[in-house]
């Protein structure tokens, strides 16, 4: 009784630069095995003898002495961090403060879109910082810089105290809200109504 076994055979005409095996099903007698091509040397499987020789590796000569190179000029000593003047903030592109939008999560996302844009917080009132959880309002990620805190208030002493808190928390700028047209904030002398009181803004 005949059995069907598979036996690898070379393709009669391999393409240039390629040697490949094609599997054929041969009708063999029971116990008979096909030619053992996998254990044969590579030259016996190749229909052509490759006589192309690889070019010899280039010989590198290392000189005994390297040419003398002039020493680099002495760099200027770094500026003392105490006397250094911080670089001015660029306002060419800024993201305005938006209530219920520019919180620390939104600002972190916006920083991924631009490395140099000046980001603003939501408007934070002086009462919220002085009487509430100021750590929650001032919390931010270092990746958000440059970052400005916008304050809303009308009492100069309260604004000064909140500005010191912003400085302690590492904000790059404190912005006073004198442009919001909302009637809700104008009742507390915050926003655009402050433009009618220039002396109060100056204080």
Least confident stretch, 47-61, 117-131, 161-175 = 47-61
Containing H/E element for 137? helix 134-138
Let me know if residue 27 belongs to a domain: yes
pLDDT of 76 reads: 53
Is the pLDDT at 194 greater than 80? The verdict is yes
pLDDT of 38 reads: 44
Q: Which one from 45, 162, 180, 193 is the annotated catalytic residue?
A: 180
pLDDT of 201 reads: 86
Let me know if residue 82 belongs to a domain: no
Same domain for 108 and 193, yes or no, is: yes
Query: Is 180 one of the annotated active-site residues of the chain?
Result: yes
Same domain for 41 and 130, yes or no, is: no
Containing H/E element for 23? strand 21-28
pLDDT of 56 reads: 66
Let me know if residue 70 belongs to a domain: no
Rg (CA), the chain: 39
pLDDT tens digits, residue range 105-118?
999 999 999 988 99
Let me know if residue 64 belongs to a domain: no
Same domain for 191 and 104, yes or no, is: yes
Measured CA to CA in angstroms, residue 144 lies from 26, 57, 65, 115, 147 at distances of 72, 54, 52, 9, 6
φ/ψ of 23, rounded to 5, equals -85, 125
Work out whether strand 3-10 and strand 21-28 pair parallel, antiparallel, or are unpaired.
Answer: antiparallel
pLDDT tens digits, residue range 58-102?
666 666 666 666 665 655 555 444 444 556 778 788 898 998 899
Domain that holds residue 132: 94-202
Let me know if residue 23 belongs to a domain: yes
Same domain for 41 and 116, yes or no, is: no
pLDDT of 80 reads: 41
Let me know if residue 51 belongs to a domain: no
Let me know if residue 106 belongs to a domain: yes
Same domain for 26 and 103, yes or no, is: no
Total domain count, the chain: 2
CATH number, residue 177 = 3.20.20.70
Let me know if residue 167 belongs to a domain: yes
Is the pLDDT at 19 greater than 60? The verdict is no
Please report the sign of the dihedral spanned by the C-alpha atoms of residue 92, residue 97, residue 103, residue 105: negative
pLDDT of 21 reads: 45
pLDDT tens digits, residue range 147-189?
999 999 989 999 999 999 999 999 999 999 998 888 778 777 8
Residue 126 CB-density burial (10 A; 0-12 exposed, 13-18 middle, 19+ buried): buried
Is the pLDDT at 55 greater than 70? The verdict is no
Is the pLDDT at 54 greater than 90? The verdict is no
Same domain for 109 and 176, yes or no, is: yes
Is pTM beyond 0.95? Reply is no
Same domain for 114 and 198, yes or no, is: yes
């Amino acid at each position: 009784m005949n059995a069907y076994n598979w036996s690898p055979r070379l393709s009669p005409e391999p393409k240039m630069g390629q040697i490949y095996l094609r599997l054929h099903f041969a009708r063999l007698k029971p116990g008979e095995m096909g030619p053992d091509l996998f254990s044969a040397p590579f030259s016996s499987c190749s229909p052509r003898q490759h006589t192309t020789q690889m070019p010899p590796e280039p010989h590198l000569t290392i000189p005994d002495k390297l040419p003398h190179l002039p020493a680099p000029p002495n760099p200027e000593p770094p500026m003392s961090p105490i006397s250094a003047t911080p670089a001015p903030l660029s306002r060419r592109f800024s993201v305005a403060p938006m209530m219920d939008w520019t919180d620390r999560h939104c600002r972190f996302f916006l920083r991924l879109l631009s490395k140099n844009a000046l980001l603003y917080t939501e408007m934070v009132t002086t009462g919220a910082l002085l009487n509430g959880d100021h750590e929650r309002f001032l919390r931010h990620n270092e990746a958000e810089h440059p970052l400005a805190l916008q304050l809303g208030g009308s009492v100069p002493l309260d604004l000064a105290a909140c500005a010191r808190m912003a400085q302690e928390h590492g904000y790059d700028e404190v912005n006073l809200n004198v442009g919001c047209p909302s009637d809700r904030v104008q009742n507390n002398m915050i926003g655009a109504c402050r433009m009618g009181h220039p002396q109060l803004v100056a204080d």
